[in-house]
Amino acid sequence: MVNRGIRGATTVNHNEETEILRETVLLLREIVEHNDVIAEDICSVWITMTTDLDATFPARAIREIEGWEMVPLMCSVEIPVKGSLPQCIRLMVQVNTNKTQKEIRHIYLNEAKKLRPDLSQSKS
C-alpha cells in the first residue's frame, strides 16, 4: 500500500453552520464512495475553508460520522487570493491504498466544479 491524496471541494450558498456541516459530509461521502475507502484506511483529512466561512468548524461534521471518530482532522483557512472562488470548502484526504494516481477519483461539487473541470467528472 502507498499513501495517496484525494482532493475534493464544494461550495455553500450561505455562511451557516448547518449548510457547512451538510456540504462537508456530502463531499466526504462522495470521495469515500468513488474511491472505495473505509475510515480505517484514512491517514488524515486536511480541511480548508475560504475566509468568508466562519460559522463552524467543518471537522465537526466528519467527527460525527460513525467510525470516523479517531481519524485525524485539521481545519485551516485558505489563502485569500483576490478573485478566488468564495464560500468554498476543500478536503485533502490522505489514504493508504493500492490504487494508482490515475485510479484516484477527485471530487468537485457545486460551484467548486469550476476549480478543476478536468477532474469534476465523477465515475458513474
Which one of 63, 64, 69, 103 is the catalytic residue? Answer: 63
Is 105 annotated among the ligand-binding residues? no
Which one of 4, 23, 90, 105 is the catalytic residue? Answer: 90
Residues in the chain: 124
Q: In what order do the strands lie in the sheet with 73-77?
A: 73-77, 42-49, 88-97, 2-11, 107-108
Report the alpha-carbon distance of residue 23 to residue 110 in Å, rounded: 10
Report the alpha-carbon distance of residue 124 to residue 122 in Å, rounded: 6
* Active-site residue, 90 included: yes
Which one of 17, 22, 60, 75 is the catalytic residue? Answer: 75
Nearest to 104 by CA among 31, 23, 27, 40: 31
Cell numbers 460559522 label which residue? 55
Which one of 78, 88, 105, 111 is the catalytic residue? Answer: 78
Which one of 7, 19, 22, 60 is the catalytic residue? Answer: 7
Is 108 annotated among the ligand-binding residues? yes
* Active-site residue, 63 included: yes
Is 4 annotated among the ligand-binding residues? no
* Active-site residue, 75 included: yes
Annotated binding site for prephenate: 7, 90, 108
Annotated binding site: 7, 90, 108
Catalytic residues: 7, 63, 75, 78, 90, 108, 116
